[in-house]
Amino acid sequence: MPLSLRARVGLFAVAIPLFMVAAGLVLYLAYQQSLDRANIERLTAQLYSLLAVAEPSDGAVWLPESLQDERFNQVQSGLFGQVRSTQGDLLWQSHSALGITVEQPGYPSDIAPGKIRVQERSGVDDYLVLSLPVRFGESANNPLMVFEVWQDQRLVRQESRTFTTTLAIGLGGLSLLLMLLIGVLIGWVQKPLNQVVRELGAVEKAERETIDENYPREIAALTKALNTVLHVERKQRERYRNSLGDLAHSLKTPLAVIRGELNKGGRLEAGSVQLLQEQVGRMDDVITYQLKRASSGSTGVWAKPVKVQPVVERITSVLGKVYQDRGMSLSLDVDPLAGFLGDESDLMEIIGNLTENAFKYGDHRVSVTVFLNQEDPRLTLIVSDDGVGIPEQRWEAVLQRGVRLDSRPIGQGIGLSVVADLVAGYDGKIQLLRGEKEYSGARICIRLPGAALSS
High-pLDDT (> 70) share of the chain, %: 81
pLDDT in tens, 382-417: 999 988 888 777 777 667 654 433 344 333 344 577
| Residue with more model confidence, 114 or 288 | 114
Q: Which of 359, 373, 295, 309 is nearest to 329 (CA)?
A: 359
Q: Mean of the per-residue pLDDT values for the chain? A: 81
Q: Which of 112-126, 160-174, 319-333, 334-348 has the lowest mean pLDDT?
A: 112-126
* Residue 422 CB neighbour total at 10 angstroms: 25
Residue 413: the pLDDT is 43
Length of the chain: 455
Is the Cβ–Cβ distance between 268 and 394 less than 8 Å?
A: no
Residue 409: the pLDDT is 38
Residue 403: the pLDDT is 46
pLDDT band per the 50, 70, 90 thresholds, residue 231? confident
Strands 144-152 and 306-307: unpaired
Query: Going by C-beta distance under 8 Å and a sequence separation of 6 or more, which residues neighbour residue 99?
Result: 75, 76
pTM: 0.46
pLDDT in tens, 346-393: 888 899 889 988 998 888 889 999 999 877 778 999 999 988 888 777
Q: Can you give the three-state secondary structure of the chain, one letter per residue?
A: CCCCHHHHHHHHHHHHHHHHHHHHHHHHHHHHHHHHHHHHHHHHHHHHHHHHHCEEECCEEECCCCCCCHHHCCCCCCEEEEEEECCCCEEEECHHHCCCCCCCCCCCCCCCCCCCEEEEECCCCCEEEEEEEEECCCCCCCCEEEEEEEEEHHHHHHHHHHHHHHHHHHHHHHHHHHHHHHHHHHHHHHHHHHHHHHHHHHHHCCCCCCCCCCCCHHHHHHHHHHHHHHHHHHHHHHHHHHHHHHHHHHHHHHHHHHHHHHHCCCCCCHHHHHHHHHHHHHHHHHHHHHHHHHHCCCCCCCCCCEEHHHHHHHHHHHHHHHCHHHCCEEEEEECCCEEECCCHHHHHHHHHHHHHHHHHHCCCEEEEEEEECCCCCEEEEEEEECCCCCCHHHHHHHCCCCCCCCCCCCCCCCHHHHHHHHHHHCCCEEEEECCECCECCCEEEEEEEEEECCC
Query: Going by C-beta distance under 8 Å and a sequence separation of 6 or more, which residues neighbour residue 120?
Result: 126, 127, 128, 129, 153
Q: What's at 419, amino acid-wise?
A: V
pLDDT band per the 50, 70, 90 thresholds, residue 44? very high
Query: Is residue 249 scored above 70 in pLDDT?
Result: no
pLDDT band per the 50, 70, 90 thresholds, residue 273? low
Which domains are present in the chain?
A: 5-159 (3.30.450), 217-295 (1.10.287), 306-452 (3.30.565.10)
Cα separation, 156 vs 35, in Å, equals 8
Q: Which of 364, 276, 351, 247 is nearest to 307 (CA)?
A: 351
Q: Per-residue pLDDT averaged across 44-68, rounded? A: 88
